[in-house]
Structure 1
Amino acid sequence: MYAIIETGGKQYRVSQGDVIKVEKLNANVGDVVEIDQVFAVGQAGDLKIGTPIVEGAKVLVKVEEQGRGKKLIIYKYKSKKNYRRKQGHRQSFTQVRVEEIRA
């Protein structure tokens, strides 16, 4: 069984037991979070598609880790104008494990 969910403005295709990194969730390590933005649920040739979400469908995920990604360097440069700007960014993430898909 798989589901297509949305969290943090992004969509993910998940199955039970999957480990994914999503945008930072406001939860502690070990918490179980319920995601109710489920767009589709599929199982062995049977697919339920929501309009826009599947009514009553939920995905339970367990928070495994809160962290920050690798540093990205943003460098702006204009030739012959002595214009240089350097900026760094580290995106926060939450690593979750899909515990259960309820359809």
Structure 2
Amino acid sequence: MYAVLMNGGKQYRVKIGQILRLEKINCKIGKVIKFNNILLVKKNEKIFLGQPILKNTVIKACVYKHGRKKKINIIKFNRRKHYKKKQGHRQNYTSVKIIHINLFKE
């Protein structure tokens, strides 16, 4: 069984027990959160597809940890113009562990 959920403008394919990195969510570690934007669920050989989302379907996940990704460097440089600009960015993330995929048939 797997599902496709949408969070932060991105789509993720998830299974029960999977650890997933999402955009920063303001929750404490250990708290259970629910995702309602479910696009697709495959259970056994049946596929349940939403238009665009499935109603009455919930994915429960536990907040596993918070962190920051590896730093990326942005460099802008024009030769012979005495122009050099350097900038860095580290994106915050939240790791969640998928606990349960609850599918209510419509």
Q: Same fold (TM over 0.5)?
A: yes
Runs of 4+ in 1 over 3 A off after TM superposition: none
Name the counterpart of 1:52: 52
Q: Name stretches of at least 5 consecutive residues in structure 1 with no aligned partner.
A: none
Q: Name stretches of at least 5 consecutive residues in structure 2 with no aligned partner.
A: none
Name the counterpart of 2:38: 38
One-letter amino acid of the counterpart of residue 60, structure 2: L
Question: Could you tell me whether the CA contact under 8 Å between 1:8 and 1:24 is conserved in 2?
Answer: no
Deviations 1:28-60 (A, max 9, x none): 100001000000010122100100000111100
**1:29 alignment partner, SS class:** coil
Question: Could you tell me whether the CA contact under 8 Å between 1:34 and 1:60 is conserved in 2?
Answer: yes
Name the counterpart of 1:87: 87
Name the counterpart of 2:28: 28
Deviations 1:54-79 (A, max 9, x none): 01111001001011111111111112
Identity of aligned residues (%): 37
Distance 2:87 2:67 in 1: 20
Distance 1:90 1:99 in 2: 28
Name the counterpart of 1:63: 63
One-letter amino acid of the counterpart of residue 41, structure 1: V
Distance 1:39 1:79 in 2: 49
Name the counterpart of 1:74: 74
**TM-score in terms of structure 1 length:** 0.97
One-letter amino acid of the counterpart of residue 40, structure 1: L
The two structures, once aligned, show a CA RMSD in angstroms of 0.7
| Number of aligned residue pairs | 103
Distance 2:80 2:48 in 1: 58
Q: What is the 5 A alignment of 1:9-28? A: 9-28=9-28
Distance 2:23 2:11 in 1: 11
